[in-house]
Amino acid sequence: MRIYGLDFTSSPKKNKPLTLVKCTLIDSLLTIENFHEFGSDFQSPFEDYADWLNSRGEKWNEREWIAGIDFPFGMPQLAITYLGWADDLSKCSWEDYVKKIYIAHPTFSKFCKEVTDWTYPNELSETGNPIKVQAKRITDQVSRSQSPMKVKNNPYPGAMFYKGCKELFKADISIPPVRNSRNNKKIAVEAYPKLVALHFFPDKEQFHELLQKKNIRKEDRNNLSPDELETKKNITNEIKELSVRARRMLRYKEAGEDELARNNRQMIIDGLNKSDNPYGVCVVFSDETHKKRCIADTKADLLDSVLCAVQASWAYKKRESGYGVPYFDTDDPVKRQIELEGWITDPALHEIFQR
């Protein structure tokens, strides 16, 4: 099976491109074949991205693949409701509200202004001023990823949603769980590479234990005692601390930490080469040069694309049970919410709901 992983950015530059990795999955062996940076002398990175999604041109003529793409595929249900992106939430689909977003906000600046200005109704600070909030999807809360309404300060997930989802929406591909098509042989799943990295983090057992404790269902939160709320707050802070530490190890180029970051990129690649890793795939490189580039890349863009491909591979192996999206009863409101908002494909998140 052809597997792709795309490390996305809302503002691609020469030193920070849209980075795509092309792989082949045979049984449980994932072979990294080559890397591609979107953008050429004749087309913008986003035009190349659209060509790939739509299998246009000789370069992208494959008709069957699954790709893990690193940007939020949807918006929080709360925002969909209060910003008027759905006339009737009970009948609204992902396609309905995404289409409405681009009609109402033909430019990113207009989209940015609306989500930046928005606040929860009737929520004020001690000074009486509205509190600026960034609503999160269920999958963001569970994974501790940032809100797709965040359009200021790096990494700008809101900008990535706006610029990435436009072409994703138009492409004739299946996007579980927001747009499922059994007849379509091209599949895109939402990836979050940091989750893969955390599986190989020295404190991974502590991290997953904290994730298991972090039950985000609203009906549970409403019934918590003050002590339970304080415990939940402490767990959240611990998860944030672990995530920041992992991010520093893998990405940041700080004085005295270059060798540490390089060693940890090596550690992750070595971990993925073992078939007993949580994703059930053994990652190998067809060319040793590609492996060396992944380890040497201080921004970890190449490695991130590989991690997206790993999540896509795991999703493909789970294709008979919804590509790794947790199962919910038909009348469960969480099922409906996830089908609107989207879901990050990863075994750690799947386990939380399917215990």
What's the pLDDT tens digit per position in 78-125?
Answer: 999 989 999 888 899 999 999 999 999 999 999 998 888 776 555 555
Rounded Cα distance between 192 and 229, Å, is 27
What's the pTM value of the predicted model, to 2 decimals? 0.86
Give residue-wise pLDDT tens across range 295-350: 988 888 999 999 999 999 999 999 999 999 998 888 889 999 999 999 999 998 98
Name which residue leads in pLDDT, 255 or 299. 299
Measured at the alpha carbon of residue 261, what is the angle toward residues 258 and 262, in degrees to the nearest 5?
85
Of 72, 67, 9, residue with least CA distance to 301: 9
* Domain ranges (residues) in the chain: 2-353
How many C-beta neighbours within 10 Å does residue 157 have?
23
Query: Which of 14-28, 37-51, 300-314, 339-353 is the least confident region?
Result: 37-51
Summary mean pLDDT of the chain: 85
Question: Which SS3 state, helix, strand or coil, does residue 287 take?
Answer: coil
